Structure 1
Amino acid sequence: MFGNDALACAFLKALGGEEANGTADLMVVVRRWNGGGTDDVAGAVGKALLESPEPPVVVAVLGDRDQEGERLCSELLALGVPEECLLFRQGGRPVRLSDVVSFTRTAWERGLRADPVVWDGPSDPVIWEDAKGSTTGKPPEVKLPVDPPDAREPARAGMPAGRGAKIVWFVSPVAGAGQTTLASSLVAMLASSVGERAALLDLCRPPQAHLKFGDPEFEDAGDFLRADTPWGTVCVPKPGTWDGNDAGRAVKMAEKLAAEYDRVVVDAPAGWKLDVSPVVTVVSEEREHIIALKKAGAGDVLVLNRVRDRGAEYLQRVMEKELGRRADAVVPYDPESRKAVGTPQALVSDDISRAAGEILARLAG
């Protein structure tokens, strides 16, 4: 599934194997790029799992951890492909043939065969643990800071008293930082814990946020397509009406939704520079993200997401040196969040849930 005969031959030669005409014990599938790959990674893997008498070792080369990479990752995990068999590029460098050969050898030697789902019945309610150690089927309540009545300013237009801005913008200087994950989690927290009528406006192309809400059915809502879910509403511009570049129109769309909802969270295209407030800027620990952030500048709330390889305090010192400020929230990489297939990740990840609460507190403060 390299989509490139020369690469496929070189790979087989390096492993000392032969291409199978029927079923195989090993499958390597590559996400589409300008040098080859396949358009339907999950479909190819699903077909192989159905046709193989024994589940093969599946290695998937997914490239960047952008929205498409995250979607493919979720689909493959749902099919039973181990996370250790998903190869992303690191540090912005290309994934080379030698990388795939070494990665595949390791997966083969460890016997990391896919473990297909046999039956997936109705999900049990998410069990949350409160401060006293008891469990409940409801997510933890988020306490927002509220000023004393005599000190509270009258609510400004679009600014509910004690709750912060009515429209919140999420943006990343580079794709793949996880801004959609955090934006969807914030909407879920607002709807589930705070009790607000919250909407997520997905302006990315192609839109992906709805996949985190169970891939719901959309209905025509005038200027938008809208889907109501248990964790809030997802809205996208109608196909053919949005080119992904008009920030002025984006503001008007958000304001129109704000007239109907308590809070609107906007998932803006990566790389946008917004002359609005408040803006939540999301970056990962990757070097190119920090460099891009230094050029673009940070918004009102800065979130350092998916911290895995480097320590949080070290990264905070880098932020302080390069940007003159520390991140307002640091979110560790949480492998448990991968279990959130079709649901906002705050519902299964304590770290992401905590980050959503910290963002809410910053916005309200």
Structure 2
Amino acid sequence: MMLRLTSIVLLGLLPNLLPAQARVHEDILNLKAEGRAGPALAACSQNLTKLLAKQKLSPAGATQAEYLLTLAELVARKYLLHKEFCDMATQLSKSPGLASQPLLASWLHHYETEHLSAQGKLSEAAKILDDLGYVRDFQVIGPLDNERGGGFREAREFETAPGKLDLSATLDGKKRPVTWKRIQLVDEPTGVLNLAARQRPNSQALSYLAFAVTSPKAQILSLRLATGGSVAAWVGRKEVLRRDCSIRSLGFDQDVCALPLQAGANLVLVKVCTQSGGYATRMRICDLDGSSLGRDRIQVSAAPEAIEGAKKGAEGFALQAKPADLVPAMGAEAHLVSLLANGKDMEAK
């Protein structure tokens, strides 16, 4: 995993922000600097266990836990302590305080999938991905032109008129005609849809991703995603996310928006862009507070018949949510985008 801006900010500043814990953090960083990776990881684990022994964490305690988890992952990744990190994750999963910190729990398990994958334990990693709510079934069309971000700014009719989305259509691509293709991430243990590896050209380009979310009832969930560049998303006819970002490292839960669902099939469309940076994405659907969904809350499919059913149901529904309903993604890269229209509470009409 690439070094996150969050990690840099936390590792550089947090000891100063939390003076009472500065000595603990300094000791761990000294162990890391001396190359004593095992003791450094063990110290992170011990302090996390102590923090999460409490049923509920204070804001300062939650911040400290985020810092220690970030540091533990950096140490484990740099010194290949994959098994040790997974052992720590298993132990921390039993902690009372983790239940009150769903985003911290998700972040822990996300890191766990990467360290499981590094050990070749792909089936275990895949199970955790499913529990975290990662979308692994897409209809994809691309690469389309995004020279200097122009494609991101250009609106296509099917963005806000789902009836115009035709999976049999051929579009003018960046270099040649392109068509919709179904991609299922069956063998991808990290949940990443690597568009750069699947498309040429793979710079100054963009793709549209479509899938259907079937819900047994009207409900508002959250869509949390990461990209290496600009991204926009729609549910039915309503834009729910727009993030103009020419380049960034692919992280975890970098953006979050409300995902308003009506009972039945709902069409979700995501525009993933790149200029000169990474051309990839991963996204997950979870509760508003970031906690994982039960198995019966939704079903996700990019089968053509599922997309067609979702298109028919996209012609209008009213479902409201306020920005306060959402819990932002953790870390400095997180960007909370609420469903607001002209400064008012969102309403899909």
Q: Structures share a fold, TM > 0.5?
A: no
Q: Normalising by structure 2, what TM-score?
A: 0.28
Q: Normalising by structure 1, what TM-score?
A: 0.27
The structure number with the bigger radius of gyration is 1
Q: Kindly indicate which of the two structures has a greater share of residues assigned to strand.
A: 2
